[in-house]
Structure 1
Amino acid sequence: DAKWALNEVNALYTLGIVSGDADGLFEPHRDITRGEAAKFVTKIAKLDLSSAELPFSDVSKTAWYYPYVSAVYNAGVFKGRSREFSVFPTQQQEKNLLLLFTDYSSLAI
């Protein structure tokens, strides 16, 4: 049961920070991916979306998260792992970074 997160999720949705998955589900108990974290940080920090070339072999230009990964990479917020961004595993660092960005940008949720 995810009712504990309902108000916060609705606030983030209203701000355009979260939008759910392709089926319109939010799934608050599921770990987020680095691609999703890149979107959250881009939105919270109000980074400019980017289509600049990325050096990562695992981020397709047609992926929904490409402009967000490009934005956080070019802003120096996220790094890759050699030739890969490793978009799917989520690291504790990204989770902590989301909390810092949320606090820094004074989102009252």
Structure 2
Amino acid sequence: GGDVLSTLDDLVGESDQVVGIGHSMGGAALLSASLDRPNAFRGLCLIEPIVLDPTSKPSPAQVSKHLSEVAKRRRGQWESMDEAVSHIRTRKPFQAFSPRGMDAMVHGCLRQSDDGAG
């Protein structure tokens, strides 16, 4: 949470409230930051945040290994942006996105490869 709060302070200052949007570990970092400073955010949008059972105490190496395994299973390339969007829309966390939200997410997170593939 501390890194998020430092970055937030550098970008907008402590008095300005923003909406934090984070996916996976980013969601977890925002949640931690909001617990450290409850008034830091006007709101949070957490997409598939990593929330660990506080009684389980996994080591950083265990968490890293798990995240690596999940990332290896994730598809990283599609034939086109349209195919990527169609695939992403089938994923439950993204089904609630408005068309505008999906467009912002796709253009912020995906890029066209040099060979034209998605």
Q: TM > 0.5 between the two?
A: no
- Which TM-score tier does this pair reach, normalised by the shorter chain? under 0.3
**Using CA pairs below 8 Å that are at least 6 residues apart, which structure has the higher relative contact order?**
1
Normalized per residue, the structure richer in strand is 2
TM-score normalised over the length of structure 1 = 0.25
Normalized per residue, the structure richer in helix is 2
